[in-house]
Amino acid sequence: MPGARMRPVPTSTVAPVWQARGLHFGYGQGPLFANWSCQVLPGLTAVHGDESTGKSTLMRLLAGVIPAESGELELGGASLAREPQRYRQNLAWNDPQDTAFDQLTVAEFFERARQQHLDFIPSDLVDLVEELRLQEYLQKPIYMLSTGTRRKVFFTASLASGAKLVLLDGPFAALDMASIQYLKKCLSGWSRHPSKACVIALHELPDDLQLTHAIDLNDLRGCCT
């Protein structure tokens, strides 16, 4: 698989929320990202591309879940290499594939998120729980949830976190239409945020979603557009 071509990082008078410099990562069949530099500015950024173009990999690199082979990642002024705890405190990443919290009830999972994030927004949690119809699941353990409900729970915790950077991988997968429309409404509001960023990963850009920026992994292999 050919590696990402490096393009100049776009200049802006707005300070980036997240940035990568000289990032290199691959799985043994050629690099997914080779000497790649990019910025995520405040607002809503979409990472999009076909299967095996590196969408979920890039999200996990941003989250610090998997280590890059080389390069510098910085979030909110904190370097992942030098200040990993501060870096991770600035982001919200809840992978719906993660089974580590399966024994927690939904209410316990939300309480864990509240304790984890200093800027957690309780009113946002209340709104998300109501609009996504999660009230009836609050006392159920996560392992008992359907795929769609599980994803709504994990995304709710992230969106209410108040973190500088919120990461959502496949935000519309397995969701009912009413939940998709509400989530799109929430995400479009991020495009106007002056200091924080939300990054979503998906196959195609929906026409009805207002974006601030996009990262196309099909043709540009991760270069900002």
Q: Is residue 75 part of a domain?
A: yes
**Contact by Cβ (8 Å): 98, 151:** no
Angle between helix 147-159 and 122-131 (nearest 10): 160
Q: What is the dihedral of CA 94, 225, 187, 106, to 10 degrees?
A: -10
Q: Is residue 18 part of a domain?
A: yes
**Contact by Cβ (8 Å): 210, 188:** yes
Q: Is residue 97 part of a domain?
A: no
Q: Is residue 112 part of a domain?
A: no
Encode the chain (225 residues) as per-residue pLDDT tens digits: 233 333 334 445 789 999 999 999 998 777 889 999 999 999 999 999 998 889 999 999 999 999 999 999 999 999 999 999 999 999 999 998 999 999 999 999 999 999 999 999 999 999 999 999 999 999 999 999 999 999 999 999 999 999 999 999 999 999 999 999 999 999 999 998 999 999 999 999 988 998 999 999 985 443 433
Q: Is residue 64 part of a domain?
A: yes
Q: Is residue 95 part of a domain?
A: no
Residue 196, amino acid: K
**Contact by Cβ (8 Å): 44, 56:** no
Domain hosting 82: range is 1-90+202-225
Nearest of 163, 183, 164 to residue 175 by alpha carbon: 183
**Contact by Cβ (8 Å): 18, 195:** no
Q: What is the CATH number of the domain that holds 31?
A: 3.40.50.300
Q: Is residue 115 part of a domain?
A: no
Return the structure tokens found at 146.
């359907």
How many domains does the chain contain in total? 1
